[in-house]
Amino acid sequence: MANGDLPDKVLLVGFMASGKSSAGKELSSRLGWDFQDFDTVISARAGKSISRIFAEDGEAEFRHLESGVAEELLARSDTVVASGGGWPAQPGAWKMVPEDTLSVWLEVSAAVAVRRASEQGPTRPLLDGGDVTERATALLLGREASYRRARYTLDSEQYGPLELADEIVKLIKEWTN
Protein backbone atom coordinates (compact mmCIF):
# COMPACT_ATOMS: atom_id res chain seq x y z
CA MET A 1 0.00 0.00 0.00
CA ALA A 2 1.31 3.41 -0.95
CA ASN A 3 2.32 5.73 1.90
CA GLY A 4 -0.46 8.18 2.70
CA ASP A 5 -3.30 5.82 1.79
CA LEU A 6 -6.10 5.27 4.26
CA PRO A 7 -6.61 1.76 5.57
CA ASP A 8 -9.15 -0.08 3.45
CA LYS A 9 -11.27 -0.87 6.49
CA VAL A 10 -11.25 -0.92 10.28
CA LEU A 11 -11.85 -4.21 12.11
CA LEU A 12 -12.84 -4.13 15.77
CA VAL A 13 -12.27 -7.23 17.85
CA GLY A 14 -12.67 -7.91 21.55
CA PHE A 15 -14.64 -9.78 24.14
CA MET A 16 -18.41 -9.56 24.46
CA ALA A 17 -19.54 -6.11 25.64
CA SER A 18 -16.17 -4.52 24.88
CA GLY A 19 -17.98 -1.77 22.96
CA LYS A 20 -17.24 -2.91 19.39
CA SER A 21 -20.67 -2.00 18.04
CA SER A 22 -21.13 1.34 19.79
CA ALA A 23 -17.59 2.54 19.03
CA GLY A 24 -17.83 1.13 15.51
CA LYS A 25 -21.05 3.01 14.72
CA GLU A 26 -19.58 6.24 16.04
CA LEU A 27 -16.37 5.77 14.08
CA SER A 28 -18.19 4.95 10.84
CA SER A 29 -20.28 8.11 11.05
CA ARG A 30 -17.13 10.21 11.60
CA LEU A 31 -15.40 8.61 8.64
CA GLY A 32 -18.50 8.61 6.43
CA TRP A 33 -17.95 4.85 6.05
CA ASP A 34 -20.39 1.97 6.22
CA PHE A 35 -20.75 0.06 9.51
CA GLN A 36 -21.20 -3.69 9.56
CA ASP A 37 -21.61 -5.94 12.56
CA PHE A 38 -21.10 -9.71 12.18
CA ASP A 39 -23.94 -10.66 14.54
CA THR A 40 -26.46 -8.30 12.93
CA VAL A 41 -25.80 -9.80 9.51
CA ILE A 42 -25.82 -13.40 10.82
CA SER A 43 -29.09 -12.84 12.62
CA ALA A 44 -30.73 -11.13 9.61
CA ARG A 45 -29.65 -13.97 7.30
CA ALA A 46 -30.82 -16.69 9.66
CA GLY A 47 -34.07 -14.82 10.37
CA LYS A 48 -33.62 -15.29 14.12
CA SER A 49 -31.68 -13.96 17.07
CA ILE A 50 -28.15 -15.11 17.95
CA SER A 51 -29.60 -16.73 21.10
CA ARG A 52 -32.06 -18.74 19.01
CA ILE A 53 -29.34 -19.83 16.58
CA PHE A 54 -27.30 -21.16 19.52
CA ALA A 55 -30.35 -22.82 21.12
CA GLU A 56 -31.87 -24.36 17.99
CA ASP A 57 -28.87 -25.00 15.74
CA GLY A 58 -25.91 -25.14 18.13
CA GLU A 59 -22.65 -23.22 18.37
CA ALA A 60 -21.00 -25.15 15.50
CA GLU A 61 -23.69 -23.96 13.09
CA PHE A 62 -23.35 -20.41 14.45
CA ARG A 63 -19.57 -20.53 13.82
CA HIS A 64 -20.20 -21.79 10.29
CA LEU A 65 -22.56 -18.88 9.57
CA GLU A 66 -20.12 -16.49 11.25
CA SER A 67 -17.22 -17.62 9.07
CA GLY A 68 -19.22 -17.03 5.88
CA VAL A 69 -20.28 -13.57 7.00
CA ALA A 70 -16.71 -12.72 8.06
CA GLU A 71 -15.32 -13.63 4.68
CA GLU A 72 -17.89 -11.45 2.99
CA LEU A 73 -17.62 -8.40 5.27
CA LEU A 74 -13.83 -8.46 5.32
CA ALA A 75 -13.83 -8.11 1.55
CA ARG A 76 -15.59 -4.72 1.83
CA SER A 77 -13.83 -1.35 1.52
CA ASP A 78 -14.44 1.89 3.41
CA THR A 79 -16.21 -0.06 6.12
CA VAL A 80 -15.94 -0.32 9.89
CA VAL A 81 -16.50 -3.97 10.79
CA ALA A 82 -17.33 -5.19 14.31
CA SER A 83 -16.62 -8.90 14.69
CA GLY A 84 -18.31 -11.17 17.20
CA GLY A 85 -16.40 -11.73 20.43
CA GLY A 86 -15.52 -15.34 19.64
CA TRP A 87 -14.58 -14.98 15.99
CA PRO A 88 -10.88 -14.02 16.31
CA ALA A 89 -10.22 -17.29 18.17
CA GLN A 90 -11.74 -19.48 15.45
CA PRO A 91 -9.26 -21.43 13.30
CA GLY A 92 -8.22 -19.46 10.21
CA ALA A 93 -9.99 -16.28 11.30
CA TRP A 94 -7.01 -13.93 11.02
CA LYS A 95 -6.04 -15.36 7.63
CA MET A 96 -9.21 -13.70 6.33
CA VAL A 97 -8.05 -10.24 7.40
CA PRO A 98 -6.46 -8.32 4.49
CA GLU A 99 -3.13 -6.52 5.08
CA ASP A 100 -4.59 -3.06 4.60
CA THR A 101 -7.05 -3.51 7.48
CA LEU A 102 -6.55 -1.42 10.61
CA SER A 103 -7.46 -3.89 13.35
CA VAL A 104 -8.08 -2.82 16.93
CA TRP A 105 -8.58 -4.91 20.07
CA LEU A 106 -10.95 -3.19 22.49
CA GLU A 107 -9.72 -4.61 25.76
CA VAL A 108 -12.07 -5.19 28.68
CA SER A 109 -11.84 -7.33 31.82
CA ALA A 110 -14.18 -10.29 32.32
CA ALA A 111 -15.78 -8.60 35.35
CA VAL A 112 -16.65 -5.42 33.46
CA ALA A 113 -17.84 -7.40 30.42
CA VAL A 114 -20.18 -9.44 32.63
CA ARG A 115 -21.55 -6.32 34.29
CA ARG A 116 -22.15 -4.56 30.98
CA ALA A 117 -23.66 -7.69 29.40
CA SER A 118 -26.11 -8.11 32.28
CA GLU A 119 -27.17 -4.47 31.87
CA GLN A 120 -27.72 -5.05 28.15
CA GLY A 121 -30.03 -8.05 28.73
CA PRO A 122 -29.89 -11.75 27.85
CA THR A 123 -28.62 -11.52 24.28
CA ARG A 124 -25.42 -13.50 24.73
CA PRO A 125 -25.91 -17.25 25.02
CA LEU A 126 -22.34 -17.82 26.18
CA LEU A 127 -22.96 -15.57 29.18
CA ASP A 128 -26.33 -17.02 30.15
CA GLY A 129 -26.83 -18.82 33.45
CA GLY A 130 -24.45 -20.54 35.87
CA ASP A 131 -21.35 -18.84 37.22
CA VAL A 132 -21.09 -16.22 34.52
CA THR A 133 -17.98 -14.48 35.85
CA GLU A 134 -16.09 -17.76 36.07
CA ARG A 135 -17.10 -18.68 32.51
CA ALA A 136 -16.26 -15.24 31.13
CA THR A 137 -12.86 -15.31 32.83
CA ALA A 138 -12.01 -18.70 31.31
CA LEU A 139 -13.27 -17.68 27.85
CA LEU A 140 -11.34 -14.42 27.91
CA LEU A 141 -8.15 -16.14 29.02
CA GLY A 142 -8.45 -18.60 26.15
CA ARG A 143 -9.03 -15.81 23.64
CA GLU A 144 -6.57 -13.13 24.69
CA ALA A 145 -3.79 -14.35 22.40
CA SER A 146 -6.12 -14.18 19.42
CA TYR A 147 -7.27 -10.63 20.27
CA ARG A 148 -3.64 -9.60 20.66
CA ARG A 149 -3.13 -10.31 16.96
CA ALA A 150 -4.90 -7.02 16.23
CA ARG A 151 -2.52 -4.26 15.16
CA TYR A 152 -3.56 -1.92 17.99
CA THR A 153 -5.07 -2.26 21.46
CA LEU A 154 -7.30 0.29 23.20
CA ASP A 155 -8.59 0.12 26.75
CA SER A 156 -12.37 -0.01 26.57
CA GLU A 157 -12.69 0.55 30.32
CA GLN A 158 -10.75 3.81 30.18
CA TYR A 159 -12.54 5.06 27.06
CA GLY A 160 -16.25 5.26 26.21
CA PRO A 161 -17.50 4.81 22.62
CA LEU A 162 -16.92 8.45 21.61
CA GLU A 163 -13.38 8.48 22.97
CA LEU A 164 -12.65 5.10 21.37
CA ALA A 165 -13.74 6.57 18.04
CA ASP A 166 -11.43 9.57 18.69
CA GLU A 167 -8.52 7.26 19.43
CA ILE A 168 -9.12 5.18 16.32
CA VAL A 169 -9.27 8.33 14.18
CA LYS A 170 -5.81 9.15 15.62
CA LEU A 171 -4.58 5.66 14.70
CA ILE A 172 -5.87 6.16 11.15
CA LYS A 173 -3.95 9.44 10.94
CA GLU A 174 -0.80 7.70 12.20
CA TRP A 175 -1.33 4.99 9.58
CA THR A 176 -1.50 7.53 6.77
CA ASN A 177 1.65 9.43 7.88
| Interface residue list for ligand S3P (CB under 6 A) | 16, 20, 39, 50, 84-86, 124-126
Question: Please, what is the minimum distance in Å from the beta carbon of residue 78 to ligand S3P?
Answer: 22
Nearer to ligand S3P, 78 or 146 (CB): 146
Residue 132's nearest CA partner among 59, 53, 140 is: 140
Question: Please, what is the minimum distance in Å from the beta carbon of residue 90 to ligand S3P?
Answer: 9
Nearer to ligand S3P, 39 or 175 (CB): 39
* Cβ neighbours of 97 (radius 10 Å): 20
Residue 17's nearest CA partner among 171, 174, 123 is: 123
DSSP state of 105: E
CA distance 129 to 2: 50
Question: Please, what is the minimum distance in Å from the beta carbon of residue 161 to ligand S3P?
Answer: 14
Nearer to ligand S3P, 61 or 100 (CB): 61
CA distance 35 to 53: 23
Burial of 160 (0-12, 13-18, 19+ CB in 10 A): middle
Nearer to ligand S3P, 22 or 101 (CB): 22
- Residue 167 Cα to chain centre, angstroms: 16
Question: Please, what is the minimum distance in Å from the beta carbon of residue 158 to ligand S3P?
Answer: 19
Residue nearest to ligand S3P (CB): 86
Asked whether the beta carbons of 117 and 21 are under 8 A apart, the reply is: no
Nearer to ligand S3P, 86 or 161 (CB): 86
Question: Please, what is the minimum distance in Å from the beta carbon of residue 28 to ligand S3P?
Answer: 16
